[in-house]
Structure 1
């Protein structure tokens, strides 16, 4: 099975034999982790971390919303063997072996270590059970490392060998609450070690285990524990319970500093065993980092061996910036699983989970390629799903006693959220304008979680917050949240998410956004269509109320509001004026689907049909004989936006009649392909968000060069899906191939997909939600 998994990952996924060159650099105020990074490991809701392309653990999302770049040298895997009477020892890192290959197909990252000096080939497969269709498993805070060792070519049998996982006690991890680009603590000073202690575990697991704990008194601190464990078909297992993970300036060689990593590692390197140096358990001081190690040992003469390591986090509490403390979903029941129980479950069900992953891979890759997409693009669809757990995700279910939010707009206890991004301006949960692009990633794979997000957005539509604060763009005081207006976001992890909503009401006023209501109505009804389940009556009435509030923004009887204020849509850095194709298509689509739904529910659709026809007339006025113009007035009257008609695309998927000629849609999309894709660096990096013939670049709007002169990755994936839907398969393939090459073709952007790139080799806002729109390729 391992060979099949490797072959599948190599055919469809991301592969490399080293760190790719950095083809892109960050724009100002965007963080830049560098080109070496790999797939994130960990569940929806965290904790999560990633192992990079050199074999180092270097990116950490241990609390929702925190992104820390830190090479934690005390976290590593190592192998020891005997050859010719000598002890040999290497870490499983690229610089210590002759050849290091990587093949990734989410949620499994495979690494293969080989070389002239190794009498075996070792394959490391790292994964968490974030598996579509297995909702509860996708939230389990466990990471598995499967090691398989086989005799090298020309070698009939394995030597005696030993494999170990060294892991620091991460309890107390608490980085400063700053956006990623502003963070100064890029090493480990945010980790307060006081009270950390490790103890042996002798019950529940057959191999060797250590429980890493923390002495944490207090009614609101339920304690943190991590279980480090090893099982498999090894012949023996050992462990080192506790050691200091850095060295002491005593003048004594590191290998002789007992109770430290140096001595433990030296013991493993020279004997292949753990526990041969002094060991024990003690309470660490605040500046005393400690760790543990577990190992499996294989006798000589076998042709292969398999060892499984698991790291299981029982970290039940999530404390956001304002101090409110929530329970992680896995810990919300009456019988919260312990770290040891989580580890036991991982060892017992790991093979079952891998089988479920295999089946999902076969099913999804088969469906995407059957739709006409190439194998590399199909693999990109799968790998980009990793953003679900990489975007600082939160999955909480109720607060701790005394932390209940008073008069909360959101009525449920359970909340699921992903960040728009980790940089300033993006550091918000479930930004609605991006969710409307990204929701199929949840709807197709974890539909109840998508339902939970839509329920929160529905509650937010029904609520209001009369708090008044300045909005800097317009220089006025504005209300934080108006009734029947969709908030931009469900809060920031820096503040009080799920309680203090619409945090973006500072830079701009999302209450004025022309696209929010129609985009939400379309997304919510399309989610229901994809699930084959009608929306409930309360949800239907909320959607109708939101549509009526949107209609109140229309003052000319056209069925579509004008853009009268800078930044009054998701494209808040574009100076769209008058009527835009983007908003007009959304309104045309919304009225079309509402008319369809009203008729299906036995209600009178006449008013919706009239508004649909009026909106379609406005869209007709934007038609110039070749494409729908981006705007009716101002700077962009001759421009085209490739995905601007996605409101009609959603309506088509809902099966509604829009009154718009499909031939016009095809002509619009092909013109956008020629102008914005082929016309921008020959299509090398994808289609511009907005462009026009004969113009190489726009002057910036709104003080920053954002959105103009950029390829918006999520928007481009939506465009590719629309091209194929409307019969432009060749155009779709070329756009998708360009995007796949940018992300996974050796550019250094793998597993940190940005919001935007440009032909000058710059990127903006890495790890961004909108690119989850690639899931439309799987619909």
Structure 2
């Protein structure tokens, strides 16, 4: 980036924060960082987008059959009380409310919105309840000289339509702001007439290269109270919670109850026992820690559907709760139950009180997927037990260790945040897009065989059983996340290709664990016959020897029954097999785990042999079939193509390199000639002197379109320090063409990279996907540019994407798969945008390369 660009960014950031101060009247809260996503609680987004629904008239003929078959499929599932893993009749509306999710990785989570809502619950593995629980609120009570002078819910929202009408709502929205830097968040409230500034810091244990605490299902809310007045106050902060997620269905469960938290660790709180989810009882433990002059009290039970007057008056009377009960009554069906914990602290004039610490920990140790066939145990049970009483232990552990978590988070983040060469928006995008690692329907399980993995086998006899019981899975567990919160498929592999760099860079052993599961699924077969909806053809669900599209639907039995995807028969997709080989070698390059590469070797040879069948003319290059047989599953492609052909060249090159690493050159030799032939054919059939054509079908109206993602295969080679397949000049020329047309010539360069552009400078409208901007693809293209030295262009490309979604459209913490130029989006909260970590990896990679070159010189 140029110095001029850096200065402009700095000025823009200062202007934005100055404007924020004028909105809120607050100069700053306590220890709120300079970088991140900041928004006033009074902010209103001007643009209200809706889910993409209807294609253009010219695109409809290709979709008529799919639409007809989908309607029949949807009705058939509805009759048996099932939902399709992609429900196009129940797309989520854009709720411009979300903030940093709470909790570690894979233990279930919920979102806490930027206006304070507890919302978007994912306690069942991979299943979301898009609900806001009204009773879950922070309340402040301020007393002076023995009298309460102020008491208010710390929410700018109005009183709920049902219940809690005696509580005082409508905190002035222009006197508060929210700041997100995942995995932490800050909310700052000002009470001007009292001279008080309250800062709530939210901390979750998400720590790179850490595989114990990162799995903990807990969140800390630590409050700092600054008193700028000349009066002494007693300030009480309360966290009220409903037992459950507040829905009618959740309240239909009977037998829920609250129990006093008993501990010798100076903690006071409540454990909420809940039976709502079939065969998966869980607890949520809410507690505060007494220290110095702080006093913690509890309200063991209240009715969140009542007017709330009893709780409100109890607090108003003396700033604390009067409760001697140890256990509440158990609920009957339809009854709601809540609790609250209060921390009271003196705050002297012109001073501050720090460390009013709340913990919320949840414990659902045993989980079942939708088919209820067999139980699984969450990762954290290895450290806290699986008998259902871990909530207390987790809560105490979190209170005692969160300072260490923050120190580790800052050690990780500060080198990036303090790098003056990086723009502020990028620092926000990089860390905040990582929310999906927690909030992507993520499940992190213990291995089903805790007594150790299978005995070591030679690479020529690796089996599905051996792969599923590898030492990596035994040590680090099994990991899965959804393609999207609306696209309910675990570990969708064509999309994970983009997102995987975040895991490989930050939690590499989770990436290796996922790869072992994919490798085992490649060997798996399922002869069940299914009518695929795109063309109506009937085929088997899983063909052995090919990469699965996904490892299953959480409403069924993932890993056991793979390929929940129902649109295409992905056994014939041209990108999945090469993507496996590319990811395996990239992961080896990052981890240097030769045992992993050796285990993957026979599986790589298997998928390469299967892909060779797609080379129908013997020129070494695979051909697409004329359908949408790759991750762009609505954009047809015929013959050799820039995207799949480039992936194939990269996979061929990685097989040769892997063979050298593990001493299997003799097995890889046959691919030497294939690579030579394929490279020549790729250039002859697709290179037009400026970029690689979309495909080689001269009879189509889009074969010479400029595809934003045409260099995807080269991205992986560059990330693996391999850059000798296609000429440097051709890759740079292609990327410059993409930058000029797909980025700058589209939406004034402020929307990222549109998938397809015509050489005339018009958007490719040939399909429902060619005119979309895919957020994750944009970040991946930016990463490829950076690898090739086009750092400025890469940042401009990515900036348009981030500012569109987060600042203009209100899509914070729900970055979608796709946005259109105007009006619409598709599939909120999607896996692919994790590819932004490819940009950071590229920056670090070129920095290391430069350092090595200088040292050599």
Q: TM-score, normalised by structure 1?
A: 0.89
Instruction: Give the match's secondary structure for 1:632.
Output: coil
The corresponding residue for 1:421 is 484
Deviation at 1:695, TM superposition (A): 5.2
How many angstroms apart in 2 are the aligned matches of 1:284 and 1:378? 47
Is it true that 1:246 corresponds to 2:305 in the alignment? yes
The corresponding residue for 1:182 is none
Assess, with a 3 A threshold, how the Cα gap between structure 1 residues 71 and 43 changes in structure 2: closer, same or farther.
same
How many angstroms apart in 2 are the aligned matches of 1:518 and 1:338? 43
More helix per residue: 1 or 2?
2
Is it true that 1:550 corresponds to 2:598 in the alignment? no
How many angstroms apart in 2 are the aligned matches of 1:8 and 1:280? 39
Is it true that 1:271 corresponds to 2:323 in the alignment? no
Alignment of 1:254-653 (within 5 A): 254=307, 261-275=308-322, 281-301=328-348, 303-305=351-353, 306-324=355-373, 325-332=375-382, 335-336=385-386, 338-365=390-417, 369=419, 373-398=422-447, 411-412=468-469, 414-423=477-486, 426-504=487-565, 506-534=566-594, 535-602=596-663, 603-604=665-666, 605-621=668-684, 622-633=686-697, 634-653=700-719
How many angstroms apart in 2 are the aligned matches of 1:585 and 1:683? 26
Q: Deviations over 1:630-651 (max 9, x none)?
A: 1111232220112221212211
Alignment equivalent of 1:149, drawn from 217, 225, 235? 225
How many angstroms apart in 1 are the aligned matches of 2:290 and 2:412? 25
Assess, with a 3 A threshold, how the Cα gap between structure 1 residues 719 and 135 changes in structure 2: closer, same or farther.
same
Alignment equivalent of 1:21, drawn from 28, 38, 45? 45
Deviation at 1:466, TM superposition (A): 1.8
Instruction: Give the match's secondary structure for 2:545.
Output: coil
Assess, with a 3 A threshold, how the Cα gap between structure 1 residues 657 and 752 changes in structure 2: closer, same or farther.
closer
Is it true that 1:96 corresponds to 2:178 in the alignment? no
Contact 1:119 1:159 in 2 (8 A): no
Instruction: Point out the more displaced range, 764-773 or 733-742.
Output: 733-742
The corresponding residue for 1:178 is none
Instruction: Point out the more displaced range, 653-662 or 638-647.
Output: 653-662
How many angstroms apart in 2 are the aligned matches of 1:609 and 1:22? 56
Q: Deviations over 1:356-383 (max 9, x none)?
A: 11111113445xx57x542211221111
Instruction: Give the match's secondary structure for 1:589.
Output: helix
Instruction: Give the match's secondary structure for 1:745.
Output: helix
The corresponding residue for 1:736 is 798
Deviation at 1:43, TM superposition (A): 1.9
Instruction: Give the match's secondary structure for 2:692.
Output: coil
The corresponding residue for 1:69 is 130
How many angstroms apart in 2 are the aligned matches of 1:415 and 1:740? 31
How many angstroms apart in 1 are the aligned matches of 2:766 and 2:730? 30
Contact 2:259 2:326 in 1 (8 A): no
Assess, with a 3 A threshold, how the Cα gap between structure 1 residues 683 and 222 changes in structure 2: closer, same or farther.
closer
Deviation at 1:205, TM superposition (A): 3.0
How many angstroms apart in 2 are the aligned matches of 1:158 and 1:718? 55
- State the superposition RMSD in angstroms: 2.6
Instruction: Give the match's secondary structure for 2:187.
Output: strand
Deviation at 1:454, TM superposition (A): 0.6
Q: Deviations over 1:572-609 (max 9, x none)?
A: 10011111100111111111111122233332343222
The corresponding residue for 1:765 is 827
Assess, with a 3 A threshold, how the Cα gap between structure 1 residues 638 and 273 changes in structure 2: closer, same or farther.
same
Deviation at 1:479, TM superposition (A): 1.2
Contact 1:193 1:287 in 2 (8 A): yes
Instruction: Point out the more displaced range, 585-594 or 192-201.
Output: 192-201
Contact 1:422 1:767 in 2 (8 A): yes
How many angstroms apart in 2 are the aligned matches of 1:442 and 1:542? 21
Deviation at 1:433, TM superposition (A): 0.2
The corresponding residue for 1:52 is 113
Is it true that 1:231 corresponds to 2:297 in the alignment? no
Q: Deviations over 1:2-21 (max 9, x none)?
A: x9996664324444443441
Alignment equivalent of 1:775, drawn from 837, 854, 857? 837
Assess, with a 3 A threshold, how the Cα gap between structure 1 residues 102 and 334 changes in structure 2: closer, same or farther.
closer
Deviation at 1:557, TM superposition (A): 1.4
Aligned residues: 732
The corresponding residue for 1:685 is 751
Is it true that 1:105 corresponds to 2:171 in the alignment? no
Deviation at 1:114, TM superposition (A): 0.3
Deviation at 1:312, TM superposition (A): 0.9
Deviation at 1:71, TM superposition (A): 2.1
Deviation at 1:224, TM superposition (A): 2.1
Deviation at 1:244, TM superposition (A): 2.0
How many angstroms apart in 2 are the aligned matches of 1:507 and 1:732? 33
